[in-house]
Amino acid sequence: MKLLLTPTLTLVGTNLVGTPMNASVAAAQVNYVSGAFANITAPEIVSPVTPFVLPGTVISVVPVGLYLFSVYTLLFMGIVGFGTWERYQFRMAYRKRASMRERKMGMGKI
């Protein structure tokens, strides 16, 4: 992945005779000899080989917000589920009472 993210410069030109020339330069090899960046010195590299870590692939802090959101979601789903169950129980009890009332009054018979 590091090879894909590291830019490579390709220099194309002609020599004095007129034959085409090209060269590839890695970003670590670039030095500015004139211009605005000429006086800036590069920091010294302590370790020439450092492991490349793709940013954003590791959670480095505890996701407290995720935990709170999960608790609130579970509470909400529990409350809605309990209300749905109670409504179902009430509907069944009402149907039972209505059928008993019809039998008692003699309705529903021919």
Dump pLDDT digits (tens) for 5-20. Answer: 666 777 788 888 888 8
The pLDDT assigned to 101 comes to 87
The pLDDT assigned to 48 comes to 61
The pLDDT assigned to 29 comes to 62
Amino acid occupying residue 98: A
How many CB atoms lie under 10 A from the CB of residue 25? 13
Q: CA nearest 52: which of 4, 19, 88, 110?
A: 4
The pLDDT assigned to 33 comes to 59
The pLDDT assigned to 108 comes to 56
The pLDDT assigned to 85 comes to 97
**Hey, what's the torsion of the CAs at 45, 37, 30, 13, to 10 degrees?**
180
DSSP-derived secondary structure letter, 45: P
Instruction: Look at residue 24 and give its three-state secondary structure.
Output: strand
The pLDDT assigned to 90 comes to 97
Contact between residue 12 and residue 21 where contact means Cβ atoms under 8 Å apart: yes
Judge whether residue 37 has pLDDT over 70: no
Dump pLDDT digits (tens) for 60-99. Answer: 888 899 999 999 999 999 999 999 999 999 999 999 999 8
Instruction: Look at residue 101 and give its three-state secondary structure.
Output: helix
**pTM for this entry:** 0.42
